[in-house]
Amino acid sequence: MKTLVLLDAHALIHRAYHALPKFTSKNTGEPTGALYGLSTMLLKVIRELKPDYIVAAFDRPEPTFRHESYEAYKAKRPEAEDDLVKQLIRSRDVVEAFGIPILDAAGFEADDILGTIVEQTKKLKDTKTIIVSGDMDVLQLVDDNKVVVYTLRKGIEDTVIYDEAKVVERYGFPPSAIPDFKGLKGDPSDNIIGVKGIGEKTATDIIKNFATLENLYNKLEVGGGRLEVGKIVKERVINLLSDHKEDAFFSKTLATIRRDAPINFQLPISGFQLRKDQLKALFEELGFTSLVARLNSE
C-alpha cells in the first residue's frame, strides 16, 4: 500500500499559532512561532507516517461559496492578528521548502480541496489516505481504514488517528452523519446556527436513530411517522424541528465538505523526497537552529 498524506495547512498553522509562544526571528525580525510549530509538525508527520506522496491544501483570501450563500458564515470569529496573517502567508514558503506541492481554489476552503482529492482518489485500491489536520470537521471524510484523519488532541505533539471505528466511538454515529449532526446542533465556531434549542445530546440521539436529516423529516412528514419520532424525542423537540427545517438543511449544507472543487488531482509520478538543502537554508534564515540540527542528524 502507498500512503498519500493530505495536509490541512491552514488548520495546522492556526493550531501552531495558538499552541506556541509568540517569538520572532533574530535574523529578519518576522514573527515565527507558528512557522516553527508548523515545521515541527511536518517533520513529525514525515517521520511517523512515511508518506509516499504528500500534498498541502490551503485556503485563499477570496470569499468562499459559503460566505456568498450566508453572509454571517464565520462572522463571529475575531479578525486574525497581524502576526498570524504574516505567518499564514509565509507558511507557503515553508511548505514549498519541504518539497510539498500546494493546491487551492478560489471560492473553496482547504477542507473542500481535501474532500475533492479524497473523491478523485477513492478508486485507487493500493493507496491509503491520511488527512493531517487540527480541525475536527474533516472527520466526515473518514472512510473505514482507507481514509483516516491524523489530528492533534493537545498542542502540536499529542496526536491521534481516527478511522471509522474511532469516529463512531467518539460520536456514536459514522463519519458521513457529521454534517447532519451539525445541521441540528450547529457549530458556533463557524456561526452555523443549526436548530435553535437543540443541543449536542439531543442531536446525537436523533442522528443515532435516524442517520440523516432527510430520513428524519421523511418520518416526521409522512403518514404516522410523527408518532414514531415521538417515541424517541419530546414533542417540544418535534416542534423545533418542524419550525426550523430550513435552518437544519441550510446548516447541513454549510457543514458539508464539498468534493467537487475545480481541481484535477493526480498522484505525482515520483514519490515524496524531503528537500533537505532548501529546507535547511530556510530554517537558518528563520533562526530555527534546533530544526537545522535535527535535519543534520537524520
The pLDDT tens digits for 264-274 are 998 887 889 99
Average pLDDT rounded to a whole number, residues 40-45: 95
In the chain, CATH 3.40.50.1010 covers 2-172+263-293
Please determine, for residue 291, whether its predicted confidence score (pLDDT) is greater than 90: yes
- Model confidence at 47, in pLDDT bands (50, 70, 90)? very high
Please determine, for residue 279, whether its predicted confidence score (pLDDT) is greater than 70: yes
Label residues 58-87 b or e (16+ Cβ within 10 Å = b): bbeeeebbbeeebeebbeeeeeeeebbebb
Please determine, for residue 297, whether its predicted confidence score (pLDDT) is greater than 70: yes
Outline where 172-275 has alpha helix (H).
178-185, 200-210, 213-221, 225-230, 235-243, 245-255
* pLDDT score recorded for residue 172: 96
Q: Can you tell me whether residue 223 is helix, strand or coil?
A: coil
Average pLDDT rounded to a whole number, residues 151-174: 90
> Using CA atoms, how far apart are residues 148 and 144, in angstroms rounded to an integer?
7
> Using CA atoms, how far apart are residues 261 and 112, in angstroms rounded to an integer?
6
Selecting from 3.20.20.70, 3.30.460.20, 1.10.150.20, 1.20.1440.230, what CATH number does the domain 175-255 have?
1.10.150.20
Q: What is the pTM of this model?
A: 0.91
In the chain, CATH 1.10.150.20 covers 175-255
Please determine, for residue 80, whether its predicted confidence score (pLDDT) is greater than 70: no
Q: Residue 99, CB half-sphere, CA atoms under 13 Å: how many? A: 17
Q: Domain 2-172+263-293 is in which class? A: alpha beta
Average pLDDT rounded to a whole number, residues 178-183: 97
